[in-house]
Amino acid sequence: MNRREFLVTAAAAGLAGCATSGEKKCCAKAGACGGKMLFGVCRPLKDAALLKKHGYDFFETGVAGILKPTCSEEEWKKQKELILNAPIPLRSCNGFIPGTFRITGPKADFAPALDYAEKALRRAEEVGVKTIVFGSGGARNVPGDICGDRAQRPDTEKGLLQYTEFCRLLCKRVEDLKTVSIVIEPLRPNESNIINYVWQGMQVVRDVNSPRLEQLADIYHMISGRECARSIVEAGCHLKHCHIACKATRKFPGTRPDDAEIFKPYFDALKQIGYTGGVSCECGWPTEEKEFEKALDTALALMKSLA
């Protein structure tokens, strides 16, 4: 399939599917509540003032560096003040489970990962974070078994069951929380061997059936994996966060002149479900300051034109 065929197929098929009746009701409610999409950038706390200057609503950054799940309560108290006094809200965090933890495969060990994740989620709720992005390819990718001197193919079916059980146990631990959600991030096949598509993430969301577990749509990964926008409609009110980057370069939206055309079916789907969550630019940016600021304006203008 060439680039033009992909665009036509995505546009034609993107909104063809129907959500379930429950999702339709939820989406109708979301639309009736009004509101608008919120736009942010995956950048550190030190860039929050610059993002505010250029009109962004929030910033997103890594769990380990901002929520510091391994640091003491005294250290956290100082960090918490910095976050709460940031020029714009910390609405989302990514990089949830470090690759040093194993949650799938024969050496999976849930206990330390659950402790780390629970601490991160509790601290996230304290500072108003709405979504914790569960991509974490290093922790979730299913390793192959070693049989003698030969590596065997990963048992991804078993790995998915382990991943689902981890999510279930974690949600049980934090069922008392009220506002923060874990959002499952599908990763393209060359980055993860389980949960490559939004519909696969939604299977886990439905199996676990907890208000603490919801879905993310990464438009870059969706386009890379040729997943059409219909998956967004089918996720409906379970969709709580989005990522975006230019398909060809993984740089900021607006890098290429056809970015708007490529992204349009996905934003149309978001509008169809009344989406009012965050859309974060998770992408590469120019290193030179003036060019970076110009790129921030370009990206925001493009996203707002589609929202």
At 129-139, the pLDDT tens digits run: 999 999 999 99
Please report, for the chain, the start and end positions of each structural domain, with discontinuous segments joined by +.
Answer: 3-144+153-306
- For 3-144+153-306, which CATH class? alpha beta
* Distance between CA atoms of residues 276 and 247, nearest Å: 23
Chain-centre distance of CA 18, in angstroms?
23
- Find residue 213's DSSP bridge partners: 182
pLDDT number for residue 144: 77
Q: How far is the first Cα of the chain from the last one, in angstroms, to the nearest whole number? A: 28
Rounded Cα distance, 210 and 165, in Å: 12
pLDDT digits (tens, 9 = 90+) for 57-79: 999 999 999 999 999 999 999 99
What's the pLDDT tens digit per position in 15-37?
A: 544 444 444 545 544 444 457 99
Indicate the pairing of strand 58-62 with strand 90-94: parallel
Task: Check: pTM over 0.85? Answer yes or no.
Answer: yes
Average pLDDT over residues 237-247: 98
- Distance CA(133)–CA(161), nearest Å, equals 19
Residue with tokens 């949960």: 195
Taking every pair of C-alpha atoms in the chain, what is the biggest distance, in angstroms?
60
pLDDT of residue 8 exceeding 60, the answer is: no
Looking at residue 174, its pLDDT comes to 99
- What gap in Å lies between CA 184 and CA 195, rounded to an integer? 9
Contact 277, 241 (CB under 8 A): yes
